[in-house]
Structure 1
Amino acid sequence: MDIPQLRAQLDQIDRDLVYLAAERQRIVAEIGRSKRGTGRPLRDFKREKEVLDNVRGHAREAGIDPELAAGLMELLIGASLTRQEQDTVRALSQGNGRRALVIGGNGRMGGWFARFLDAQGFAVEIGDPTGAPEGFARRERWDAGPLDHDLIVVATPLRPAARILAGLASHRPPGIVFDLGSIKTPLRESLQALQAAGVRTTSIHPMFGPSANVLAGRHVILIDTGNRDALEAARALFASTTAVTVEMDLDEHDQMIALVLGLSHALNIAFTAALAGSGVAPERLRAVSSTTFGAQLAIAEGVARENPHLYFEIQSLNAHNGPALTALDEAVHTLLAAVRSGDEQQFVDLMSRGRDYLHALPE
C-alpha cells in the first residue's frame, strides 16, 4: 500500500477513536446519573486502578507501550470525571434559586466562583466596577444596593478584601459571608469584626486556579473563624464535586501557605529571573532540554504568567513567610558554598537531607 492509502487508514482509525471516546462519555454520563440516584461518591479510586491495570494488560497483548496506553486512559478518565462532576453540580442544585453576590466577580477567580455558583442554581449578581462576565447581573459598587443575599463572596485582592469585609461588618448582612483570599492573617481583624457584628462568616481558600475544569484531587481549605454554620455552608458548596475539603485555623493556614505557595513561587520566580539574566535564548535552551529542566520550565512558565501584584501580596503580606524564605536563602548559600569550595560532603549532606525528608512522607 502506498502512503496516501495508509494515511486514509489512519484517518479512519482516528475517526473511530473519537466516536469510541464519545460513546465512552455517554456511558460515563449514565454511570453518573446512577451514582446520584444511589448516593455513591463520584470518584472511585479502586475502579480507576482496575481500569488502568486492565489497559496496561491490553497494551502488552497488543504489543504497545503500557504507559502510553495508561496515559491515554488517564486523559479519558479525567474527561469522565469532568463530565460527571459538572452534571452532578447542576443536578443537585445546591442554590435552589438562592441569591449570591460575588464582589470582585469580574476577576479570574471571582468569575470562576460566579460560574460555579450559577451552575448550582444560585441567582448570581456581580459587584465589580470593572464589569461582569457575560450573562450576569452587575452593580458597579458592591454596596450600591441591598445586601440581603443568601451568600456574599469576596473575591478581590487582599488589601481591598480587608476593607470590604470590614465594610460588610458595618452593614450586618443576614446571609453568609466568606472570602477567597490566598492569605488570611491580613484579614484577621476584618473577619473578627464580622463575627463581633453577628454576621455568619467563614473563610475559604480554593487551592486551584481559575482554569480548573474538574476538582478531582483538588483541595479547598476551610478556615474556622468561629461560626460552624457558615463553615458547613461553605463546605456544602463543594459536596457535589470531587474536591477534598481540609479544615484548619487561620494561623495554621498561613504557616502552610508560606511553604505551599510562598516557597514554591519564590523558587520559580528566582529560576526564571536567573534564566532571563543568562543571555541564552529560551528557544536554544528548549533545544537541549533535559527531563528535569523541561518539567521545571513548564512549572516556571505557569508562574511567570500569573499576576505579579497578587504574587507580591502572597510573599509580603503573610506574617509566616519569613522562616520559609530564610530557609530557602540558607539552602541556596549552603549549596553555593559547597560548590565553590569543592566540599563534596557538604553537597551530599544537603541532598541527603532533602531526600530523607521526602522519603519519610507517605505515598
Structure 2
Amino acid sequence: MSDPSAENSDVRLQQLREAIDETDSALLNLLQRRKQLAAEVGVVKRSLGQPLYVPERETRLLAARRDEARAVGLSPDLIEDVLRRVIRESYQQQQAADVHLQDKTIVVVGGKGALGGLFVERFREAGATVHCLDQDDWEQAESYCQAADLVLVSVPIATTEAVISNLPELPKHCILADVTSVKQQPLQAMLNHHDGPVVGLHPMFGPQVATLAKQLIVVTEGRQPQDYQWLLDTLSRWGAQLYTTTATQHDEAMGFIQVMRHLSTFVYGAHLAEERADLQQLLDLSSPIYRLELMMVGRLFAQNADLYADIILAHPENFAMLRRYLATFDECLGTLEKGDKSKFVEKFAEVSAYFGEFSQKFLEDSQRLLASADDAHQLSQVARR
C-alpha cells in the first residue's frame, strides 16, 4: 500500500521544480532584454566617442545592486557574481565596429602574428587603412611607411631592436610605438630611430582576449605625448585601462610580475614532469585553490616556449634577484628540515605584516575565483562520468 504523504510530497516536489523552471525562463527573458539594452548603449557610446568600459559606472552599479540584494534577503556576493558575468558578456557584445579612424593609415610590423593580428583587426574595425609588414614582404616597408600615421612594432623581443633600426624613415607626424614586454631598450631604439612622436606600450594580456574592455595596457612615455594622444584615446575608447609609468619602473616591476613568476611556474611544471606525477589524480584529490594553481602551471605549457624564454632572457639583470629567491627558498626549507616550527611561524608573521591589508583583500578576491574554478571542476567531473 502506497504512502499518501509520500505521494503528496512527490507531487509538491514536481510542482516546485516546474515553478523553478518557469522562474528560470523568466530570468532568461530578462537577460535577453538586458542584452538588447546593452547593445543600444554600445551604439550610443560609439556615437558619442565614449569608452567601452567606465570603471566608475560599473562600481556604482554593482554597489547599488548589492544594497538591493541585502534589502530583499539575497546574498550580495551572489548578485555581484551574476552581474559581473552578465556585464562581461555585454562588453563583448558592445565590441562592435567603432569607426573613428577613417583618416588614419597604420602599419603593424608583425601584423600576421597573434598579438599583432589582434591590433590589425581592431584598427581595421575602426576604419583605418592597415598594412601588415612582416619578414616576407619587407620590400614594401618604404611604401607602407611613407604615409603612415602610426607604425606599431609587434615582433619577438629578441628581434625588436633590430626591426626598429631597419625601419625606413618615417613621416615627422607618424607615431612609432611597440607592444614589447621589455621597455627600456626598445623605447630607446625608437627614440634613436625616429624624431617624431614615440611611445612604448605593453599589453598585459594575450591575443586570445575577446574584448579589450578592462584589459591593462602599460604606457611608457617617449616623446611628444600630445601627438600620440589619439592612439591612447583609441585604446581607452576600446575599453582598455591605461597605466603610465617610466620604462625603468616598468622593467623593474616585470622582474616580479613576469620573469620570477614565469620561471617559478616553469620549474614547478618541470619538477612535476620529472617526478612523473599523475596529473589526473592530482586534480581529483586537490582543493579548489590547488586546482587553480595547477591550471596556471599547465596553461604556461600550452603556449609559445620562445616567448617565455625571450621574456626571461631579456631581463638578465633579474638573475641576481632570482638567486636571492632561491636562497630564501633554501633557508625556509632548512628551517623546516630542522623541525623549527617557531622560526617558521616567526617568518610567517613577518611576511604577513609586509602584506598588511592586502592579505584580507586577496583572500576575499581569491574566494570568488575559487568558487568559479570549483564550479568548472564539478561540470568537468559530470562530463567525464
User: What TM-score do you get using the length of structure 2 for normalisation?
Assistant: 0.78
Deviations 1:98-155 (A, max 9, x none): 211111111111111111212222121211247xxxxxxxx46562634122111111
Q: How far apart are residue 250 of structure 1 and its match?
A: 1.5
Residue 330 (structure 1) shift: 2.2
Q: 1:35 to 1:110 in 2, by over 3 A?
A: closer
Kindly indicate which of the two structures has a greater share of residues assigned to helix: 2
Structure 1 contact 128–142 (Cα < 8 Å) conserved: no
d(CA) in 1 for partners of 2:296, 2:70: 29
Equivalent-residue separation in structure 2 for 1:223 and 1:213 (angstroms): 25
| Contact kept? 2:201, 2:218, Cα under 8 Å | yes
Q: RMSD in angstroms over aligned alpha carbons?
A: 3.0
Q: Secondary structure at the match of 2:208?
A: coil
Q: How many residues align?
A: 344
Partner of 2:380: none
**Alpha-carbon distance in structure 1 between the residues aligned to 2:198 and 2:323:** 34
**Contact 2:219–2:244 (CA under 8 A) maintained in structure 1:** yes
Partners of 1:110 and 1:321 in 2: CA distance: 27
Change (3 A) 1:156 1:82: same
Structure 2 SS opposite 1:225 = strand
Are the counterparts in 2 of residues 165 and 190 from structure 1 also a CA contact under 8 Å?
yes
Query: Residue 84 of structure 2 aligns to which amino acid in structure 1?
Result: E
Once the two structures are TM-superposed, the CA of residue 32 in structure 1 deviates from its matched residue by 3.8
- Residue 181 of structure 1 pairs with residue 180 of structure 2: yes
- CA deviation profile, 1:180-235 (whole Å, cap 9, x unmatched): 1001234255223224xx24322111111112223343221111123324542431
Aligned to 2:89: 79
Deviates more, 1:321-330 or 1:34-43: 34-43
Q: Give the greater-gyration-radius structure (CA).
A: 2
- Counterparts of 1:211-230 in structure 2, within 5 Å, are 211-230=208-227
Shift of 1:68: 4.1
Query: Which residue does the alignment assign to 1:111?
Result: 117
Q: Secondary structure of the equivalent of 1:213?
A: coil
Instruction: Determine helix, strand or coil for the equivalent of 2:177.
Output: strand
* Equivalent residue in structure 2 for 1:172, among 165, 170, 173: 170
Which runs of structure 2 are paired with 1:342-353 in the superposition (5 Å)? 342-353=339-350
Question: Structure 1's 53 and 82: CA in aligned 2 closer, same or farther, altered over 3 A?
Answer: farther
CA deviation after TM superposition for structure 1 residue 57, in Å: 5.2
Q: Name the SS of the counterpart of 2:244 in structure 1.
A: strand
Describe the superposition over 1:22-44 as per-residue Cα deviations: whole angstroms up to 9, x where unpaired: 21111122334455667766421
Residues in 1 aligned to 2:119 and 2:311: alpha-carbon distance in whole angstroms: 20
Alpha-carbon deviation of 1:19? 3.7
1:87-126 equivalent positions in 2, closer than 5 A: 87=96, 90-91=97-98, 93-126=99-132
1:54 aligns with 2:53: no
| Cα gap change, 1:265 to 1:24, in 2 (>3 Å) | same
Q: Structure 2 matches for 1:31-42, cutoff 5 A? A: 31-35=41-45, 42=53
Alpha-carbon offset, residue 69 of structure 1: 4.3
Mapped pair 1:322 → 2:332: no
Give unmatched runs, 5+ long, in structure 2: 1-9, 362-385
Structure 2 residue matching 1:239: 3-state secondary structure: helix
Report how far residue 352 of structure 1 moved: 2.6
Residues 343 and 220 (structure 1 numbering): CA distance in 2 closer, same or farther, change over 3 Å?
Answer: same
Residues 1:299 and 1:32: Cα distance change in structure 2 (over 3 Å): same
When structure 1 is superposed on structure 2, of 1-10 and 184-193 the one drifting more is 1-10
SS in 2 for 1:95: coil
Answer yes or no: is 1:26 the counterpart of 2:30.
no
Q: How does 1:1-363 map to 2 (within 5 A)?
A: 16-35=26-45, 42-43=53-54, 44=57, 45-55=59-69, 58=72, 60=73, 67-84=77-94, 86-87=95-96, 90-91=97-98, 93-129=99-135, 139=137, 143=141, 145-148=143-146, 149-168=148-167, 170-174=168-172, 175-195=174-194, 198-361=195-358
Alignment check: 8 A CA contact 2:216 2:243 kept: yes
Tell me the secondary structure at the aligned position of residue 223 of structure 2.
coil
SS at match of 1:106: coil
Offset at residue 83 of structure 1 (A): 2.9
| Counterpart for residue 6 of structure 2 | none
Name structure 1 gaps, 5 residues minimum. 131-138
CA positional deviation for 1:10: 7.2
Report the CA distance shift for 1:326/1:127 in structure 2 as closer, same or farther (over 3 A): same
User: Counterpart of 2:141 in 1: which secondary structure?
Assistant: coil
Mapped contact 1:186–1:318 kept (Cα < 8 A):
no
The 3-state SS of whatever aligns with 2:222 is coil
Bigger Cα displacement from structure 2, 290-299 vs 352-361: 352-361
